[in-house]
Every structure is written in C-alpha cells, then in structure tokens.
Chain A
Amino acid sequence: MTVMHHPGDELLLSYALGASSEAVSLLVATHLSFCEICRNSVHLMEVAGGAMMSDVEPVVMTARSLQSVLARLDDKGPDVARTAKAFGDVPTTLRAYVGNEFSKARWVAVAPGLAHLPLLAYGGTKARLIRAKPGAAVSTHSHRGEEWTLVLTGSYHDETGFYRPGDMQSTTPEIYHRPVANDGPVCINLAVTDAPLIFKDALPSLLGKLFGF
C-alpha cells in the first residue's frame, strides 16, 4: 500500500541532519519504516551531507592524534553486530518505549473506545500513542503548536481526509478537527505535539488536563 501523506522536506532534512527533537525523530524514523520514498529522500540528504563534509576546509589533526586512535583500535568497543529482532507488531523504532507488542503495552483508558500511552515529554514536545476502536472519536480540538499524527495500524478520517498506515497528518493551530477511527482493525497512531491541544468543549478540556491530550 502506498503512503499518501508524508512528513515533508523540512522535517526530513532536520532528521537527516540530526537537528530534530527526540519526539520528532521518533515520528520520522517510524514513518520511514513505512515509506520507501521518504527513505530515499533522507538518503539523498545524507549524500549531500557527506559531500558537504568532504568539501569543507579540512582542519589538521593534532600531532599525536593518529597514534592515540591506533592505540585504541584493539579496545573492546560496544557490540555493533546485528541481532535478529524479536517477534512483535511494534515497529522497532518504538520498541524502547512501547515493548514488542501493542496488545501488551500499558494503555491508559481515556474515554469509551479510546486509550493512550505517553511515550516521552521534553519541554513542550510530547510523543504518545493513541488507540481508537472503530467509531471512536477524539473530540473536536485544535493545537497551540503543530501536531503530527502517524497511523501505525487501522485507519481514521477527519474533515481533511482519510489516513492509512504510514500516512502522516500535520495539523497547525488554524485547524479544528475531529478524527474518527474507521471500521476494521483498531486504529493506533503515534501523535507528536509541540504544545498542549486546545479543546472546544469544557469536559474534554478537563480530560486534556488530566491525560495530557
């Protein structure tokens, strides 16, 4: 299945250069596991990075530098061998946060049919998983900053379109939307915000405060 909604070159470039936050890196790295087109784009950016690194003015290393590195070559370093990955339906980028299987993760119920799993929060940036059973909806809301939603399983739709696994929706403060999970497999999304959401209704706003939506 072809991914239709992509992160865009600015996010890919920040990721390729190592400039993006942990939450945004998690988002982009996970999107890449679904999307060959963006993998190729990131690779192109890395090729450009390698070319620019090769072309900057070289700065001579200190006199003892090579000797000191040669002396360390036989030290036992961290193990870099590739190991076979354990079974599980969670993309490996997320396993350090979620575990190997979605069904065994420590979901927190937030509303009927709706659960979430906070992954990380630094400053204003947060990453969490949202799990919605078919028909479940997140109340109409906007965002103070930018929010990105990456579909991992199932699918959802809102006023702007239809989103399937690998698709990444970007919403800005002007957009109020009400995402609804479609029929079929349970919909699990990775959601990254750089500021708290703003809800329209009083009750979800309270929920928002309690659960960090």
Chain B
Amino acid sequence: MERHLQHAQRINDLVGAVGRNGDKAAFKELFDHFAPRVKGYLMRLGASAAVAEDLAQDVMLALWRKAFQFDPAKASASTWVFTIARNLRIDAIRKERRPEFDADDPTLAPSSERSSDENLDWAKAEERLREALVMLPREQAQVIELSFLADKPHSAIAAELGLPLGTVKSRIRLAMAQLRGALGVRS
C-alpha cells in the first residue's frame, strides 16, 4: 500500500513537471507508465491492437498538451488520464458529440468549499476504492466489471447474465453505495 502510494505520488509529480516545465524526461517516464495501460484498457474494450496503439499515442500527446491543467487537488493522474482516454475513444468511434460538464460554467451551482483538512488525498482514495472493489459481493463486482471493461449497455449486460434489467440496475446502485461509503462521499 505504502509503495503504491509513493508511486502514485511520483506519477502526479511527473505530470506536474510536464505541465510546469515541459519536462521531456518526465514525459518519457509517464509514457512508459501510462501508454501500455491505456493500450491494454482500450483492447479490453474491444479495440484492435493497431487502433489501441494509435489512440494510446494520442492520449499521451493530449497529456503533454493539457498537463498544465492538471490539478492533483482535484484528481489523481490516473483518474485524469482515464478521462482523456475516454474522451478520445468516443471521438474516434462515434459521430455523435459528448457534451461535457463544464466546471467554468458561469451559471454553475458552485461546489461547497472544502476546508484543507477535508481535501481528499486522491491517491489514498484510489487505494481505498480498490480495496472496496475487491470486497464487493460477486454479483455486484460482475456488473461493475462488465460496465467498466466490456463496453456494453446495461441492457446487453442484463441479457448476457440472463437477468432482468432492473436487477442489473439495482446491483449497480448497491455497488456504488459501497464505493461511496469507502470514500465517505455523500449520496
């Protein structure tokens, strides 16, 4: 756990170094860490090796360009890279747009201020979340894994498991409640 956290901290720092100084040595290390994971993730979602390779390269390029926006107080580097990979994948496979929540929206209902000791350490949060995922009852873990890693709508997951859609939905809700509990997130 401790080693995991140190590693997560180091990855965050490397993204910071790219954002502040355009540090290419830091970028190379990030490439070695993230590119094979992004590629593996995209292949799990059904992309061919060639498409996954190209997209993983694009994700790394986006990381280089957007690194100045990275804020470790808001998310860990792996969460941030996940959102980049998600968005580039959608752009690549869909004609439709994906309107995205905009934190700079002037009409936004603002988030409540967190005092600094309430600020989540996202690397620690991620570790707690991993532990909570492992603890999920098998039937909940199954729908969560299929949702995240099989790129199937919930109706297809229901058909595959031979379950009513309502059962799949309620398992998702139960699993999310567990994950929220692990992170102390209000629902």
Which of A's residues lie within 8 Å of B, judged by CB? 8-10, 13-14, 17-22, 25-26, 28-30, 32-37, 39-62, 65-66, 68-70, 72-73, 77-78, 80, 82, 85, 87-94, 96, 122, 166
Ordered by A's residue number, 29 sampled pairs between the chains whose C-beta atoms are within 8 Å are A17-B148, A18-B98, A28-B101, A30-B99, A33-B105, A33-B107, A36-B109, A37-B186, A39-B111, A40-B186, A44-B180, A44-B183, A47-B76, A49-B86, A50-B75, A50-B81, A57-B40, A61-B39, A61-B56, A70-B24, A78-B65, A82-B69, A82-B104, A88-B106, A92-B104, A92-B106, A93-B99, A93-B100, A166-B109
For A46, A50, A82, which residue has the most chain B Cβ atoms within 10 angstroms?
Answer: A50
Q: Closest Cβ of chain B: how far from A202's Cβ, in Å? A: 33
**Assuming A43-B79, A44-B185, A73-B64, what are 18 further A-B pairs, CB within 8 angstroms?**
A9-B176, A17-B151, A25-B97, A25-B100, A33-B109, A36-B109, A37-B186, A41-B176, A41-B180, A50-B126, A51-B78, A51-B126, A51-B129, A58-B36, A61-B31, A91-B102, A93-B101, A96-B99
Top 7 A-B pairs ranked by shortest CB distance?
Answer: A58-B36, A50-B79, A50-B82, A22-B96, A50-B78, A32-B101, A59-B40
Contact A29 B99 (CB under 8 A): yes
State A13–B151 Cα separation when bound (angstroms): 12
For A10, A32, A48, which residue has the most chain B Cβ atoms within 10 angstroms?
Answer: A48
Across chains A and B, the number of contacting residue pairs, with CB separation under 8 Å, is 207
Chain A contacts for B149, CB-based, 8 A: 52, 56
Which of B's residues lie within 8 Å of A, judged by CB? 24, 27-28, 31-32, 35-41, 43-44, 49, 52-53, 56-57, 60-62, 64-66, 69, 75-76, 78-83, 85-87, 89-90, 96-102, 104-109, 111-112, 122, 125-126, 129-130, 133, 144-145, 147-149, 151, 153-154, 169, 172-173, 176, 179-180, 183, 185-187
Q: Closest Cβ of chain B: how far from A17's Cβ, in Å? A: 6
Contact A49 B148 (CB under 8 A): yes
Given B76, B108, B154, B179, which contacts A33 in the complex, CB threshold below 8 Å?
Answer: B108
Q: Closest Cβ of chain B: how far from A78's Cβ, in Å? A: 8
State A74–B76 Cα separation when bound (angstroms): 26
Given A42, A72, A77, A96, which contacts B101 in the complex, CB threshold below 8 Å?
Answer: A42
Q: Closest Cβ of chain A: how far from B65's Cβ, in Å? A: 5
Q: Closest Cβ of chain B: how far from A108's Cβ, in Å? A: 22
State A80–B68 Cα separation when bound (angstroms): 10
State A16–B8 Cα separation when bound (angstroms): 22
Q: Which partner residue on chain A sits nearest B63 by CB separation?
A: A69
State A24–B89 Cα separation when bound (angstroms): 18
State A90–B105 Cα separation when bound (angstroms): 9
Given A22, A41, A70, A122, which contacts B99 in the complex, CB threshold below 8 Å?
Answer: A22
